[in-house]
Amino acid sequence: MKKIAFSIAIIAAVFTGCSINDGTEVVKTPVTGEITGDLTVSKTYPYGNYTLKGFAKVASGVTITFEAGSTITADKTDGDDAFVILNGGKLIAVGTAAEPIVFTEKSKVAGSWGGIIMYGDAPIVNSATNPAPQTATSEDGLALPYGGSNATHNGGTLKYVRVEYAGQVITQNNKEQNGFSFYSVGSGTTLENLVSYKGNDDGFEFYGGTVSLKNAISYGNADDAFDWQDGWRGQENTNWYAYQEVVGNYGMEIEAKSVNNAFWPKVTNITLKRAAGTATEAQSEIQLDAIQFKKEGNGEYSNIIIDGYKNQTTPTAKNGGAIQILDLTTYNNQVVGGKIKLTNVTITNTDNTFISGASTFTVAASSFLPTTNWAISTTATGAALTNGAWSTVNGATLIK
């Protein structure tokens, strides 16, 4: 029996890559392959290095699985690339802290591909008058419909996944692609320990839906670290970390398509940091701020660290601040209406606490947010994340 048990232990070590009793480490050999076109049959891609060509689309009813440690590499020289999960399809990409699944691009230039795009049929709201369920057309160049009434839509499970060098700016390319784009994705989807690294638009963007995001890093993305619209209402969001450098707009850009909703998202444990000298992406931006509310954006946010949102002097002068309310309607309906709550907020190295985003309305800082919905402190801890291979790029850790 001892010989049989020892043989089983050796076999297990070979197939899992674990050490055996003599301390020898078994090295797994990655497979290679290509991913392209419509993915119409469920498949598991074993640990390996894969080339992504074109818009790979996971069809409805299909589940695509990547094993931990896999790398999927796009190449902008052979055309536009993105990994797309269509409504009804699923992506199961479960890495580990030591063996993340990485979607990247060969040139390592921001904006070189479309990132991960997921579609669902969870509720969206983009009109105050149209009855539910409402729909809209995607901005990613595919022009696909999204929206519906399936609040628990399940697009799969993403854990310890990093997307690098993605993003397209809609004003330059007539399409918007981000590190991660979630179109009406539902609460049945699991999003945990995700990294969006040095993209040319937003790190994470939600277009309506009910999905929540836990343990997320948005690092060096040229537009907003976290962005949403269409009445996104995720309720279990926690541990969001943003670091903006060189070029970046808002840490969080919050809007609701000008609809005064009776619901809102909730996020706890947030860290928003901006490196010295970081300029706005487009000089037409009115301000540069950690959190911007506009077009009836709202929500509950707690345990927040804001650092480094200082006034910009070059190339053009702009005010920097912690909280911006862009328009009077948002102020009247969301602030005065008690639908924006920020508690346990620690602000450092930031020139202004509150900014009115438009010259057409001005609110004194002393009355900007009701004291029942605003609480500043010196003890906020922000995002609680642990560095590892999942949060390390080119030898540098992303959590500063």
The secondary structure of 172-185, three-state, reads HHCCCECCEEEECC
d(CA 344, CA 342): 7
> What is the pLDDT, as a whole number, of residue 372?
85
User: Residue 359: is it exposed, middle or buried by C-beta count within 10 angstroms (0-12/13-18/19+)?
Assistant: exposed
Q: What is the pTM of this model?
A: 0.92
Q: Which residues of the chain have pLDDT under 50?
A: 1-20
> What is the pLDDT, as a whole number, of residue 7?
34
> Phi and psi of 216, rounded to 5°?
-125, 140
> Phi and psi of 147, rounded to 5°?
115, 165
Residue 362 tokens read as 């001005």
Closest CA to 241 of 219, 221, 223: 219
Task: Please say whether the beta carbons of 119 and 179 come within 8 A.
Answer: no
- The total of other beta-carbon atoms located within 10 Å of residue 49's CB is 14
User: Residue 353: is it exposed, middle or buried by C-beta count within 10 angstroms (0-12/13-18/19+)?
Assistant: middle
> What is the pLDDT, as a whole number, of residue 12?
39
> What is the pLDDT, as a whole number, of residue 365?
66
β-bridge mates for residue 237, sequence order: 267
Could you tell me which residues come within 8 angstroms of residue 80 by beta carbon, excluding any fewer than 6 positions away?
54, 55, 113, 114, 141
d(CA 350, CA 359): 21
Task: Please say whether the beta carbons of 26 and 19 come within 8 A.
Answer: yes
Please name the residue that has the structure tokens 């309720």: 235
Query: What pairing do the DSSP bridges indicate for beta strands 116-119 and 82-85?
Result: parallel
Side-chain-side CA neighbours of 247 within 13 Å: the count stands at 13
- Strands (E) across 20-168 are located at 31-39, 43-45, 48-58, 63-66, 71-74, 82-85, 90-94, 101-105, 116-119, 136-137, 145-146, 156-164
> What is the pLDDT, as a whole number, of residue 135?
97
Task: Please say whether the beta carbons of 195 and 163 come within 8 A.
Answer: yes
